[in-house]
Amino acid sequence: MTPEAILGHRPRLLSQAQREFFFANGYLLVEQALDAAGLSRLREAFATLEKKGEEPDCPADFEFETLPDGRRRLRQVLCAADHHPDIWKFVSSAPMTSFAADVVGPNVQFREAGISYKFPGGRGFGWHQDIVFFPSSNRSPIMTLTFVEDVDAEMGPTRVIPGSHLGEVYDHYDADGNWLGLIGEHVKSRVPVSESVAITGPAGSVLLTSCAIVHAAGENRSARDRPMVLAGYASADTVSYGGIPYKSRYRWRIVEGEPTREIHSDALRLKLPPDWDAYEGIRIDNLHQRQDN
């Protein structure tokens, strides 16, 4: 659906002004969208998953990071919705699916949901656009980032370049054709990074980002953890070309509205990513972080 058609549907939770802001800028922060009970359920789920990460046979979806102080901590759990029922419940129901419907249209398909910890010292992500990981027939796919704790400027907040979702999809290979999963140095001079804004906010806030927005995140320089739930959705009339790096059993599940036989396509030029099916059990993080930001 086009933004105009989506805006023609009555909003569920967002105001019309918030939706217009999203379409113009490619992101929207909804502050304190979750109540205290919802947040505490998420924190309990995080604690359970962290414990599970200590088990010797924990699944490959549990990715670890060695922090500057030498400790090895859980960096993220890919497809966390597959590993904890409360994460699946959270990402497959309101308010999350209502936010998604308000910006992708009434029929919403789920892509994947992970959790990320970013402990103190945890590294960031360089500049990238999510759509290069799952080239799609249109620009409707979104990522939602739910702040499980307050996020301030020291904690490596997500940085976005407003309006960049409407422009070029940059090369995420290097000049020699090697996959980076990050915008290549040979095209970086075209990326207006000086226009980027850091998104900070209180616990319970939800950041919606377009799959085409250029974004990054810094290292966590604070003494506090920055736990987040990351959940992806798209309009039901979106088809992804090739695989996607996350292998959730809930992939493409309709979480709002109904399936459709229609396909919406936008004019897009971008390269196919590597063959994700050759990377069983792992995701982008093991593949693309050759650069530190």
Ligand X SMILES: O=C(O)CCC(=O)C(=O)O
Contacting residues toward ligand X, per CB under 6 A:
116, 125, 130, 158, 215, 217, 230
Q: Which is nearer to ligand X, 77 or 217 (CB)?
A: 217
Residues 6+ apart with CB under 8 A from 121: 67, 68, 69, 219, 220
Task: State the Cα–Cα distance between residues 12 and 19, nearest whole angstrom.
Answer: 11
Residues 6+ apart with CB under 8 A from 177: none
Where on the phi/psi map is residue 281: left (φ > 0), alpha (ψ -120 to 50), or beta? left
Residues 6+ apart with CB under 8 A from 85: none
Q: Which is nearer to ligand X, 1 or 284 (CB)?
A: 284
Q: How far is the CB of 116 from ligand X (least distance, A)?
A: 6
Q: How far is the CB of 125 from ligand X (least distance, A)?
A: 4
Q: How far is the CB of 8 from ligand X (least distance, A)?
A: 29
Task: State the Cα–Cα distance between residues 127 and 212, nearest whole angstrom.
Answer: 12
CB 205 within 8 A of CB 32: yes
Q: How far is the CB of 253 from ligand X (least distance, A)?
A: 20
Q: Which is nearer to ligand X, 107 or 209 (CB)?
A: 209
Q: Which is nearer to ligand X, 109 or 116 (CB)?
A: 116
Q: How far is the CB of 210 from ligand X (least distance, A)?
A: 12
Residues 6+ apart with CB under 8 A from 91: 81, 97, 110, 113, 229, 231, 255
Q: Which is nearer to ligand X, 105 or 141 (CB)?
A: 141
- Torsion, Cα 44 114 248 37, to 10 degrees, reads 30
Q: How far is the CB of 57 from ligand X (least distance, A)?
A: 26
Q: Which is nearer to ligand X, 180 or 230 (CB)?
A: 230
Cis peptide preceding 95, ω within 30 of 0: yes
Token pair listed for 158: 């997500």
Task: State the Cα–Cα distance between residues 182 and 122, nearest whole angstrom.
Answer: 18
Q: Which is nearer to ligand X, 19 or 215 (CB)?
A: 215
Q: How far is the CB of 251 from ligand X (least distance, A)?
A: 16
Q: Which is nearer to ligand X, 191 or 217 (CB)?
A: 217
Within 10 A of 293 (CB to CB), how many other CB atoms are there? 17
Indicate the residue whose CB is closest to ligand X: 217
Task: State the Cα–Cα distance between residues 82 and 96, nearest whole angstrom.
Answer: 17
Q: How far is the CB of 130 from ligand X (least distance, A)?
A: 5
For residue 145, how many C-alpha atoms fall within 13 Å in the half-sphere facing its CB? 26
